[in-house]
Amino acid sequence: MMSTIADANRILDELVMMLDKAYWEANSVNAKDAIYDCSSTISKELLELSKLSIQDHDLLYEPISYEFKSMTNRLPIFRKNLDEYIVRNATLESLDGLISSTIQLITQETAAPS
């Protein structure tokens, strides 16, 4: 199923909020750096989405920024390292699901039939 801009806004907003929580739960500088890098990239994409008209929110979502598109390769690696970054199980599970949804958002464009 293809996601709309409204879907992308919701997923990315939830992910940024959860990454903020994870940042404060992280117990190492390396974990905080990785979380901050991911969060700032997603925040930039959200900023670009906020520039769109509310009337466009029912259109199919396509990643806007190149930096966000490049997360196709980085998010799976980040996801594999979540156990090292985050101690609390509830945060870990929430992030895992949101990262999965975000990967689907980024890759749906290439998976769509021509």
| Alpha carbons 44 and 33: distance in angstroms, whole number | 17
pTM for this predicted structure: 0.88
How many other C-beta atoms lie within 10 A of the C-beta of residue 76?
Answer: 12
- pLDDT tens sequence across 86-105: 989 999 999 999 999 999 99
For residue 104, give every residue at least 6 positions away whose Cβ sits within 8 Å of its Cβ, in sequence order, or none. 3
Cα dist from 114 to 4, 42, 75, whole Å: 18, 27, 25
- pLDDT tens sequence across 46-75: 999 998 888 888 888 989 998 998 898 899
- Domain locations in the chain as residue ranges: 5-111
- State residue 108's pLDDT score: 83
